[in-house]
Chains A and B, each alone.
Chain A
């Protein structure tokens, strides 16, 4: 990637988008807090994690520029996420079978 292209990519996201994403993140936080007051039974954890996932995707892609940067960063991130997932699965062999 040439220097000019790189610079051009950096400016793909305008301030408007950043503010919009920030507002979406704030509203999702409010949703998390609001939902915690409702008795959803077994789905409470699932809901909280789902909202957190959406927020993470927004932050990683837009604020951390993963969407616009070189593919190798996606590989790095992928390795970290897959490792975390594997750790969760292996721990579940303990938690759910005690």
Chain B
């Protein structure tokens, strides 16, 4: 695949003179690349806030009783940590930052289908985020319901609930608009020859995710409105005394929030399917199986939500049905992991930083996935429900899974996005610290959990002290690794060497345009003639 920008003295999109200059050239830009970068910076800032809260929570748990904050503040901390990390970091996550930047380029388009709508979704994201943070400083104090907003507590608590709920509602709109944009872009703007089965697997993953965003997100919007109505008018939707049902809230909440887990992880799986063939120097094993497994995960992921509710008083039949359905998700997930590993087999592997992140991901995500089976089984679920075991499980899946791959994507596409290289050696040290810190911090929680340590508790019994110490110590290593990673990338951005067009030997379309790409990506819209991970020398080598 050749170079699709003709002029060697091209102007990259950062230098392109638009209608506005300075800050306005960013916040009013409809260029998908600028919007992607704005999302990325927004998310990194929110991540740092969420990370600080998490760090402080672990510090609080260092000793029994009060260490640095009181119980009420601790409740606010875990709620905010959850809201920020989920609604402002991981849900927009890979699609909003890397999807916006790379989806159009990977399918040979000049932009997304609706650039202005794209800008609106960024504005809604920022507005929603600021509203959530603004609510902390209002009378009544920060929300303390946990990020799940469970009734009846969310209806009775005197803290500020309505404004963070409105923030989540607005963020949901942002997500729907991004999904709508991506579905339309994939259907309408593919380059000539780019059939569905010639699309990169990252695009397949974004496409599957976009469907979930469009179809599932309205449910959380409706649920949020119902909680607000219930709080303001007490109509009794969730109150048994007035004919309502508190379990109904949990159904409605998880009908969105479980598919949302796949909004978080599917794009990450797409990134893995990009990085592995590039660094193994060979085509992906089982392209169609991976593409269809994304759709299958999106589809089955819709019908498993009530596995979050096994101990909430749901019927026995429903528990059995949802437990069974939950196990079905393991099949397409297993297909993916098998194909990734099979791609590496007999590859000419170059252990670059992005691939090392992917290796860490496969290890951590496998632990997260297998402990998910423990939670999906009815009998064991009852034992470990609402304990640290659950906390460890979802951090292995979400942090060890999605966030690890977000960092992998950042290291993989950094040269393309910013036209600079980072220090690979420092990046490897940072990853080692992150990996060690992560396991020290969260694996301990599995043990604490099955020993009976409940989640969201501010205090604990003396027998848990040693494990809490180890876990808190792990959080220090983890945070040190994360800070080193961000510092290294920042240094790369400010002082890094100029990146070549294709530093890793990638084969998808983004590697055929200069780093950073010009304003409309391509001078000539490419014509696609072969599959995305075609390595011409591969057959000679084997």
Contact = CB atoms under 8 A, between A and B. Distances in A.
Contact of A98 (B251, B303, B315): B315
Nearest to B304: A90
Given A72-B187, A87-B255, A94 B306 contact: yes
Interface stretch (B40-48, B58-66, B115-123, B316-324): B316-324
Contacts of B317: 93-94, 97
Contacts of A91: 251
A49 B90 CA distance: 38
Interface string B212-225: 00010000000000
B366 to A, nearest CB: 28
A98 B315 CA distance: 4
Given A80-B215, A83-B215, A94 B247 contact: yes
B533 interface: no
Given A79-B211, A79-B215, A86 B302 contact: yes
B314 interface: yes
A86 B255 CA distance: 11
Contacts of B247: 94
Per DSSP, chain B at the interface is helix
Interface in B287-334: 302-303, 306, 314-318, 321-322
B211 A94 contact: no
Contacts of A98: 314-315
A91 to B, nearest CB: 6
Contacts of A90: 303, 306, 318, 321-322
Contacts of B306: 90, 94
A27 B247 CA distance: 36
B473 to A, nearest CB: 43
B302 A83 contact: yes
A14 B211 CA distance: 34
A80 B176 CA distance: 14
Interface in A1-55: none
A97 B187 contact: no
Contacts of A72: 187
Interface string B184-196: 0001000000000
A56 to B, nearest CB: 16
Given A80-B215, A83-B302, A94 B318 contact: yes
Given A79-B211, A80-B215, A83-B302, A93 B321 contact: yes
Interface in A41-98: 72, 79-80, 83, 86-87, 90-91, 93-98
Nearest to B248: A91
Contact of B303 (A86, A95, A97): A86
B316 A97 contact: yes
A24 B500 CA distance: 66
B215 A97 contact: no
B211 A97 contact: no
A79 B247 CA distance: 26
Contacts of A95: 315
Nearest to A72: B187
Nearest to B251: A91
Q: Which of A87, A91, A94, A96 has the most CB of B within 10 A?
A: A94
Nearest to A83: B215
A30 to B, nearest CB: 24
A14 B315 CA distance: 51
B255 A97 contact: no
B315 A97 contact: yes
A97 B302 contact: no
Contact of B314 (A79, A80, A86, A94): A94
Nearest to B312: A94
Q: Which of A79, A80, A86, A87 has the most CB of B within 10 A?
A: A87
Contacts of B302: 83, 86-87
Contacts of B303: 86, 90
A19 B314 CA distance: 47
Contacts of A80: 215
A97 B247 CA distance: 14
A94 to B, nearest CB: 4
Contact of A97 (B251, B318, B322): B318
Nearest to B187: A72
Contacts of A97: 315-318
A94 B255 CA distance: 14
Contact of B315 (A79, A83, A86, A94): A94
Contacts of B187: 72
Given A79-B215, A83-B215, A83-B302, 11 more contacts: A79-B211, A80-B215, A90-B303, A90-B318, A90-B322, A93-B321, A93-B322, A94-B251, A94-B314, A94-B315, A98-B314
Interface of A: 72, 79-80, 83, 86-87, 90-91, 93-98
Closest 10 CB pairs of A and B: A97-B317, A97-B315, A94-B318, A93-B318, A98-B315, A94-B315, A94-B314, A93-B321, A93-B317, A83-B215
8 contacts: A83-B302, A86-B302, A90-B303, A90-B306, A93-B317, A94-B251, A95-B315, A96-B315
